[in-house]
Every structure is written in C-alpha cells, then in structure tokens.
Amino acid sequence: MVGIPDGLVQSLEDIATRLRIESIRATTAAGSGHPTSSASAADLVAATFFAAMRLDPDDPRSPASDRFVLSKGHAAPLLYAVWAELGVLQRADLTTLRGLDSDLEGHPTPRLPFVDVATGSLGQGLSVGVGLALGARKLGSDARVFVLLGDGETAEGSVWEAAQMAGHERLANLVGIVDVNGLGQSGPTMLDHDLRAYQRRFAAFGWRAVTLDGHDMRQIVPAVRRARQSRRTPTVLIARTIKGKGIEGVEGKEGWHGKPLPPDAAERVIAALEARLHHVPPPPVHKPARRRLPLLSPMPTPPPPAYGEIATREAYGDALVRLGAADPRVLALDGDVKNSTYAERFRDAYPDRFIEAYIAEQNMVSTAAGLAAQHFIPFASSFACFLTRAADQLRMAAISRSNIKLCGSHAGVSIGEDGPSQMALEDLALFRALPESVVLYPADGTAADACVQLAGVHRGLAYIRTTRMKTPALYGADEEFAVGGLKVLRAGAYDVLTIVAAGITLHEALAAHDELIGLDIPVRVVDLYCVKPVAAEALLAAARATAHRMLVVEDHYTEGGLGDAVREAVSEEGVIVHHLAVREIPHSGPPRKLLERYGIGRGAIVTAARKLAESEVGAAATSAMKSPTPGSA
C-alpha cells in the first residue's frame, strides 16, 4: 500500500470536519434534519470527492464527469456541505436548509444541478448508480459512479436487485460505499457492525467487497482510489463508522436519528470541532479528462406503416423499433417478458441498446432513471401489473421529473385465463397519481405507434398501457394524436349519451354503438387514448352535446382509472357520469366471457345505455306530467 502524504490526510480531515460543522449548523438552524447521519459519513464523503472523483463542478451532469448518488438521502446536509466546499453552493446559503424558498430541501431533489435523481426513499440509489454507470459505459465515457448507502437501507431488496445487476453487467465503473454506523432510525440495524456479513453478501452478488474503518483517512483514501481504478467488477467499500462521529455526547448513541442539536449544544460541538482543524487547504478538484463523447441527436421518425389488426403490445414493439431508428438516445429495458411485451423486437434490432433487467422491476425503473440522467430516453416494459412492484421507484422518478417511459402490457381482465394475479386493474390509478405524468392507452396499432412517438418526445415520465389481444384497426396511418387529446369516433346530432372508453373497451363501445343504433338510441363514442392530462374541454363539449350524460367503460377497477379521470374533468359542471368497471376480484376464464361477466363488454354497455335512455324518457315524461302545459288541465 502506498503511503498517503500527511498533508493530504490533514487536508481531507479538515474538509470532513467542516462538513460536520456545516451539517450541524444547518440542521440546528432548520430545527430539523439529520446531523448524526451526516457525521458518520463525513470522512468517506470528503475522501471520495477530494481524493478520488474526477468531476466538473461547473457541469456536474456531464457524461464525462464522475457522479455521486446520496442513496441515504437524509444525509442531505452533508451533500450540500460538500458542494459548498466545491464552490457550487454558497456556504452562507447552507442554513436556508429545509426552508420554503430554498432548493436545499430536506432530502435531495434534482432542483439542484448536482442531484441526478431524488433520494430519500431508501434503497434506490444503487439502482440509479447502475443506470448512470451503464449509461457512461454506453457513451464510452470512463467516468465513475459513487453511491453512498446507509447500512439500514441495505435491508431493502431493491439494493440486492441493483447489486446483482451490477455484478451481472460487470460494472467496474460503479463504486458503492456503505456507511455502517450500526444504527437505524428506531434502533440498531439488523447486522449491527458486522462488516463481514455485508462483505459476504456483496461478494456473493459479484462485487469486490472491502471492509475498512470509515473514519481513518489512511484506509479510506487508498480504498476509494483503488475502487475508482477497478477494471473488472464493481467495488463496495464497507466502512465501519460511528453515528454522530465528532459530536460529543451523541457519538454512537441511540435516540439521535433525525434530531438537530439544540443551539447551545451545537455551538459547543462546533467549537470543539473547529479546535480540531489542522488548517490545511483543500486539495485541488480533479477534473475529468476532456474527451469528445458521441453526440446522440434524433432525426424525425418516418411516418408509421398502415397497421391492420394487431395487438397494441405488438405495435408497441414495432413502434419502438421505428423510434429507435430515428433517435439513438432511445434504449429499451424489459423484465424477462420481452416476448410478451414485444420489447424483443427492439432487442433484435438494436442489441446494444437493449438491457435485460430480468425479474427485478424495482431496479429496472431506477436504472432507467439513472440512464435518463445520462441523457438517454429509456423505455422500460413489463406486464402492467408487475410495474406496481416499482410503485415507490416510480414515485421517486416522478418527483425527480425523470425522463423515463414505461409500457405495461396485459392490462385488465381481457388477458383471460392467467387469472387475477396477472391482470393489471390498478395500473392507471398508480400512474395517474404520479405528479406530472402522462398516461396513454391506445386502442389500435396506429394509436399505439403514435403513443410511443408522443412518449418519446414528451419530456418527463410517460406510461403506455397495452392490451394482450389483437384489436382491429381504427385509424389510418395519417391520423394525428396529441398528449391531452381524445378522438370522437361516433357522433350525431341526436346523441343521448356520450360513451367514453379506451383500449379494449373502446372496441366494445363501438360494437355497442352499432347495436344501439338499431335500437334507435344514438350515442356518441369517445376514444380517451390520453388518460392524463385529460382533454377536459373536449369531454365537456361532448357532455353538453348529449344532455350532460356520460357513460365511462374501462377494463380497470372502479377506482383511479378512466372513470375518475372523466369525472375529474367534468364534475364542476354537474355532468351525470355512469361508470362500468371491474367491481370485484376477477376469475380466470376466456377473455370475451370475462368482459361480459365483469360488466364491461358490449352487452353490458348496451344494457346500461338502454336503461339510461329509458330513464331519460321516463324522467322527461315525469317532468312533463309535473309541469303540464298551460291549458292542458
């Protein structure tokens, strides 16, 4: 082992001391926050930033720059302090922590230029790191990615999904650092200070795993430098630390998680820390070598083919191939169902741009967020029901305004025989409730293709819901679609009702329309292919044209889907909205029979429309009886 010069050790120790001081000062000023979780990792962070990383403080999101992910997001004060140390933040601003008008939020968000993806829901950072590292590799950058994890958060399974992916992909450019302070929020962690247990686990997942004293610069510096040089495997540094290190009276004690020091105690502790300073100036920041990385520039996508009868999931695969041809930033990920989601078409066309994420949806989504932070446009797909596995990762991606695209296939009871565990009936509820999300639900091949193109162009999180079974063509190749749009497919001057549907139920609604015509019940039919943002004005216009009466039909549970979207759009105008949706736990069975059994097939729509039309006539008759015309008595 090469010795580390005393000057460097002292300089790094001084940085760590200042990081502790700023963390204490900021949290005391805020009256909340996590000084002890910051203090345990201060030495590790100081050495990582100033003795190992090559980064460009002026352009922290450059693919050439090393990245740092604070997976233990509650140590935000430490992160802010180190970026102040780098000159990116003003030191004086650190005490605005957690304020209403400060970007220094309680947990890091990408409002800050050096935060790639929001953290604060534990166990997600390593997957983000996997995405950043995969992205760097794809770009030919030799930048490295450092992820600081808490020990408690390694209890999250998502950490092991990330670990296995990094091991499988041999991401030598990824470095994990586990801050083993032995204390969780409410008590000791499961493994306490058993560094060997962590080491065995990471080693079993294909990592080089190194144990060390997380407060000894002479151990940290060579370890983190060697980790940066790894050529074959990802490296994890498993560091024994003390929670609250450097904070007298609090070091290693339970009951101090997420608690700021009272002002007087803070002053005393800061004075003691200041007394420890060697007053050695910080080492220079190592900037990355200037290298030209490939410019990935999109071209316009050629016009779509004429789609015939096709499952929207299959059209998704074809459309993604077309988008991929035009835009080299587009990548695809899939959770070992690529032959069902048709992501395999993309894999076959661009094997280098396809990532098999295996059956680990949480990691798939956070990896996608990491790739998006390297300026890629990742499309991640699985059965729609299994995307719920990553609900928390999707939530964090939405908070991060991450530019990721999701496709969920096999929506609803119309998948048939596989049964309820495979039927996505709550995916629209999940994706609608993500802030700023776009939710698309095409009903034919052309619409599915358009949705893929719309999702690709939209900046932010977009979801596409596809259907298992084939559906006939509804639109010509030149039909135009838009985020926030809808299509009125059937309309007449005497429509008594607007039927709103999407995906599989749109075809049921169209069949019902034809049957209702025969019964002299003219109805309007709307394809709500964009569920969010919803075309409120157009829905209201349709409602007004049909006596303020609507019927929504969807292959989804009652809550959170199309029905709620429509009601949200029209409820300020007192529109009467009836709703056909799946109202019980469904059963296995043939798709067509299930549509009728759960009351969302053409038969159920006809029955509902007839009943509504009759009650309408009845109401009119009743009303007529109640207000007789003058002279009729």
With H, G, I as helix, E, B as strand and everything else as coil, classify residue 589. coil
Q: Which one from 85, 361, 426, 508 is the annotated catalytic residue?
A: 361
Rounded CA separation 472/511 (Å)? 12
Question: 301 vs 280, 323, 438, 450, 454, CA distance in Å?
Answer: 57, 6, 20, 11, 11
**Distance in Å, CB of 382 to a copy of itself, minimum:** 11
Nearer to a copy of itself, 9 or 238 (CB): 238
**Distance in Å, CB of 581 to a copy of itself, minimum:** 10
Q: Which residues make Cβ contacts (< 8 Å) with residue 414, sequence separation at least 6?
A: 467, 468, 469, 504, 555, 591, 594, 595
Q: Shortest CA distance to 173 belongs to which of 225, 229, 244, 117?
A: 229
Nearer to a copy of itself, 37 or 362 (CB): 362
Rounded CA separation 560/253 (Å)? 45
Q: 154 phi and psi, to 5 degrees?
A: -70, -10
**Distance in Å, CB of 96 to a copy of itself, minimum:** 10
Q: 404 phi and psi, to 5 degrees?
A: -115, 155
Q: Shortest CA distance to 12 belongs to which of 44, 40, 54?
A: 44
Nearer to a copy of itself, 48 or 363 (CB): 363
Q: Which residues make Cβ contacts (< 8 Å) with residue 1, sequence separation at least 6?
A: 222
**Distance in Å, CB of 494 to a copy of itself, minimum:** 21
State the pairing for strand pair 174-180/208-213. unpaired
Active site residue 361: yes
Rounded CA separation 243/189 (Å)? 12
CB crowding 418-442: b at 16 or more within 10 Å, else e: eeeebbbbbbbbbbbebeebbbbbb
Nearer to a copy of itself, 118 or 310 (CB): 118
CB 210 within 8 A of CB 227: yes
Helices and strands of the chain, counted as H and E runs: 22, 19
Nearer to a copy of itself, 274 or 559 (CB): 559
Question: 41 vs 24, 73, 177, 265, CA distance in Å?
Answer: 13, 12, 9, 21
**Distance in Å, CB of 474 to a copy of itself, minimum:** 27
Nearer to a copy of itself, 514 or 596 (CB): 596
**Distance in Å, CB of 206 to a copy of itself, minimum:** 8
- 155 by Cβ neighbours in 10 Å (0-12 / 13-18 / 19+) ranks as middle
Nearer to a copy of itself, 38 or 158 (CB): 158
**Distance in Å, CB of 248 to a copy of itself, minimum:** 23
Residues with catalytic roles: 361
